[in-house]
Amino acid sequence: MTLIVSWIFILGLIVPDLSSSLLHCPHRCHCDDEKLDVNCEEGHLDVLPIALNPSIQRLVIKNNKIRIIDSSIQFYSELTLLDLSFNYLFNIPDRTFGHQRKLQQLHLNHNKISTISNRTFVGLGELLVLNLRGNLIDQIDALTFTPLAKLEELNLGQNRIASVGLSVSAFVGIGDLKILLLDDNLLNVIPSAETFKPVDKLAELYIGTNSLVGIEDGAFQVLSELTLLDLRSSLLPNVSESTFAGVENLKSLNLADNRFVRVPSSALAVLRRLEELAIGQNHFETVPAHAFRGLPNLKRFELKGSLYLRRIERATFQTNTNLESIVIESNKALTVLEEATFAGLLYLKHLSLRNNGLERLDEGMLSWNSLRTVDISDNPINCDCYYSKLLQRLQSATRVSYNATGCPHHLPDQWECEYMLEKNKNLISVVVPLVAIVTAIALAFYRFRGLLREYVKNGCKSKAAASTTPSGPAGLPVLPPMMGRTELSTVADYEKPLTADDDYVIRTGNLYHGGATGQPILNGYPLYLQQNPNVYYNKPLPITELYHVCDCGRDS
């Protein structure tokens, strides 16, 4: 009996609490009166619950079927967070939140809201975060957000806002704004400096996934405190050297999924404080040496999904010595990473080369000082000695966790690699001297080609002259006809004009029959010539005979 009375007393104490909270908590909702939190996610509600604890501070009713915010919201004046995302809200009546004086976060994202005005947010003077992402908003009028004097984050992404639908005075009155999302809209130009001027304290700007035709020089110059800029998926063909003028304090930049045909090194060079860069899914084929030479503080680099990328040169990151993380993934055409590409990066901790077209990797391309994780999986690697040494190094590095591509066939071990290395050395010791000798001979021929040409030419002439001179008896040459002139001692004599006194006619009888001199003839030659042929040969030839000899040489 005493026990029954005790149970009745205990129930009497707790029933009031049950009646005030659990008994009024909607089906599929979780109500916590201690934390003053109500969560009705996926509760199939079509209206706001009206019988909740009026002191609740957090109300989450996402993924339901609510179409309108009715007057019941005024009963929850202590709210600091209201989440009505992923519902069917078409419209928000003016002054709907007039009683939410303490509300700091309002999430209306992924509904079907088409219009907002400066009367929509009256009463939300303490609001810090407004999320309107994923609606049907196509226009932002002037002074729309003026009641939100303390607003720090505004998300207008995934709407239908065109450049002409964004008023120049749209952001007037929210001077403390730090984060602005305008991505995935219908903008074709970057909003003007006049539009950004009221929010010049912006730290993060997301304006990618728009069809931008280009960016004017100095488009962001009024945003001197900007630290993050997202321009991904904007169809940008290039950026100029002055595009990022005025935002030299930028620390994170995303240029992925655009149409750059080359790395915009000159434009990036002004961002000396940049720490994060994403530049994948562009159209360039090579990342050249010193491509990021103006970024000494770069710590994280990402290059993913580039269809045209084929080569990364060895000195690409030579000036980026503070890099800690490099992600180069899913570039199927990338087959060449030059030797020692990542050497010298003493602070590199994380390296991912997953899912590329790399055929060769070796241990010399890495700096092993600070390395902690390596992913080289899903590459068509040649299972050679270079790859074998890399795997051995990874296995022996106890501080490094790695994911590697398996080899379908036998991977050479240390002894096989040493044998192949010795064999290659022997081959080189033979080939290199042979190549050197051939090269030296070729250079010598090239160096003395003029002398060789003259030697060959003179040799040919000598042979031609010898072949045209007939032989006489006893090996003596057949003598040419003699002239009547006694002797021509100099070249000048050849050049003298002929006179009547000069007798150049030599009669055959004088030479072969003795003539008046009565010299004896033997075998058709005067005896004195056979005894002393130099008498004839030492006499200079007349000019006519010289011409005769030259003509014979040319004919030959």
Cα–Cα distance between 56 and 75 in angstroms, integer?
Answer: 10
pLDDT at 96 over 90: yes
Q: In terms of pLDDT, which residue wins out, 462 or 450?
A: 450
Tell me: the pLDDT tens digits for 142-153? 999 999 999 999
Q: Where residue 323 falls among pLDDT bands split at 50, 70, 90?
A: very high
Tell whether 549 is covered by a domain: no
Lowest mean pLDDT among 165-179, 222-236, 426-440, 533-547: 533-547
Q: What's the pLDDT score for residue 72?
A: 87
Cα–Cα distance between 76 and 67 in angstroms, integer?
Answer: 19
Tell whether 186 is covered by a domain: no
pLDDT at 395 over 50: yes
Tell me: the pLDDT tens digits for 105-125? 999 999 999 999 999 999 999
Cα–Cα distance between 555 and 542 in angstroms, integer?
Answer: 20
Q: Which helix (H) or strand (E) holds 493?
A: helix 491-495
List 229's β-bridge partners, or say none: 205, 253
Tell whether 349 is covered by a domain: yes
Those residues whose C-beta lies under 8 Å from the C-beta of residue 135, and which sit 6 or more positions away, are 108, 109, 110, 111, 112, 113, 114, 158, 159
Q: Which helix (H) or strand (E) holds 58?
A: strand 58-60
Tell me: the pLDDT tens digits for 398-448? 899 999 988 877 777 665 676 555 555 556 666 777 888 888 888 887 777
Tell whether 355 is covered by a domain: yes
Cα–Cα distance between 467 and 346 in angstroms, integer?
Answer: 80
Task: Please classify residue 429 by burial: count the beta carbons closer than 10 Å to its beta carbon, then call 0-12 exposed, 13-18 middle and 19+ buried.
Answer: exposed
Q: Where residue 469 falls among pLDDT bands split at 50, 70, 90?
A: low
Look up residue 276 and give its DSSP letter: E
Calculate mean pLDDT across residues 309-320: 94
Mean pLDDT of the chain: 82
Q: What's the pLDDT score for residue 426?
A: 58
Domain tally for the chain? 1
Contact 283, 259 (CB under 8 A): yes
Tell whether 385 is covered by a domain: yes
Cα–Cα distance between 57 and 82 in angstroms, integer?
Answer: 8
Contact 128, 105 (CB under 8 A): yes
Q: Where residue 169 falls among pLDDT bands split at 50, 70, 90?
A: very high
Tell whether 417 is covered by a domain: yes
Lowest mean pLDDT among 54-58, 121-125, 139-143, 396-400: 396-400
Q: pTM for the whole thing?
A: 0.72
Tell whether 395 is covered by a domain: yes
Tell me: the pLDDT tens digits for 272-281? 999 999 999 9
Cα–Cα distance between 48 and 79 in angstroms, integer?
Answer: 14
Cα–Cα distance between 397 and 406 in angstroms, integer?
Answer: 18
Cα–Cα distance between 524 and 335 in angstroms, integer?
Answer: 90
Q: What's the pLDDT score for residue 398?
A: 84
Q: Where residue 397 falls among pLDDT bands split at 50, 70, 90?
A: confident
DSSP 333-402: T--EE-TTTTTT-TT--EEE-TTS------GGGS--SS--EEEE-SS----SHHHHHHHHHHHH-TT-EE
**CATH number, residue 404:** 3.80.10.10
Cα–Cα distance between 96 and 147 in angstroms, integer?
Answer: 13
Tell whether 328 is covered by a domain: yes
Domain residue limits at 373: 303-426
Cα–Cα distance between 308 and 311 in angstroms, integer?
Answer: 9
